[in-house]
Structure 1
Amino acid sequence: MNMMNKYVDLEHVVEESGLASTMKSGSLAVLATPQLAAWMEEAACACLGQADDLGTTPEEQEAMTTVGVKLDLDHLKASPLGATIKVRATLIKVDGRKLEFWCEAWQGEDLIGQASHKRVMVDAEKFVNKTYGFKQ
């Protein structure tokens, strides 16, 4: 299966926990940029498919996860509490274990954010062990 240009749409409602004033990323009661970034990462993760989609065996896929390494986000318009936001992540490039996504966020017909997002496939156990300083 060709993963290129595979996409996932997720829908979220702006809740108090995701407001700039609540997250301390600003003082206004509008969608916080960190919340928008998290939704884009969530959509990118949801976009990933079966082991054969990424050129790995089922056994390798079981041990693998992805980690975000770069998110270049433009938050274009403010969204109020209660707004419904549709986030789309599209897988646009696979280079070995490197994955690149294009993400967009919409409130109705208005584009409120867009981002390029890079993730890398890693062996989950090795990654955690290295992070916490355990010898392998």
Structure 2
Amino acid sequence: MKMYSILYHEVQPENLAVTMHSGDLEVLATPQMIAWMEEASCKITNCEEGMTTVGILMNVTHDAPSALHARVRVVSELVEQNGKIYTFNVSAWQGEKCLGKGVHKRATVNAKRFMEKLHQN
């Protein structure tokens, strides 16, 4: 059985490339599109108590612009789980226009141990 997550967002001023300093135009910023793809992927993972997932790979193209106040549909499909590694096909859409697409991977980690290691360095 395939697992999907679909989220909807409206492009706000804080989501624009000019605001996020990833470009000079008032269009959806690539980092924001990627963050929405990660958000959709997180909703599919089903971790036990004390566990979470962290992003380990994002390989996407940003193929078309999206303007302020556009409605964006973000889709994540879980295509493989190999041990602690989840692999997703991700995409962002405005109507029938594909804004971007690619592959995202996440790894399952123990949240407490992960943060402890962070603070040891």
Please give the TM-score of this superposition, normalised by the length of structure 1: 0.86
Distance 2:65 2:43 in 1: 25
Q: Find the residue that maps to 2:113 and give its secondary structure.
A: helix
Q: Going by fraction, where is strand more abundant, 1 or 2?
A: 2
Q: RMSD of the TM alignment (CA)?
A: 1.1
**Identity within the alignment, %:** 42
- Give 2:23's aligned residue: 26
Name 2:79's counterpart in structure 1.
Answer: 92
For structure 2, the residue ranges without an aligned partner over 5 or more in a row are: none
Runs of 4+ more than 3 Å apart = none
- Structure 1: runs of 5 or more not aligned: 52-60
Question: 1:101 maps to what in 2?
Answer: 88
TM-score normalized by the length of structure 2: 0.97
- Computing the radius of gyration from Cα coordinates, the structure with the larger value is 1
Q: Select the residue among 45, 52, 62 that pairs with 2:42.
A: 45
Query: Greater share of helix residues, 1 or 2?
Result: 1
> 2: distance between equivalents of 1:7 and 1:14?
22
Indicate yes or no: 2:108 matched with 1:116.
no
Count of aligned residue pairs for this structure pair: 121
CA distance in 2, matches of 1:10, 1:40: 9
The CA deviation at 1:115 is 1.6
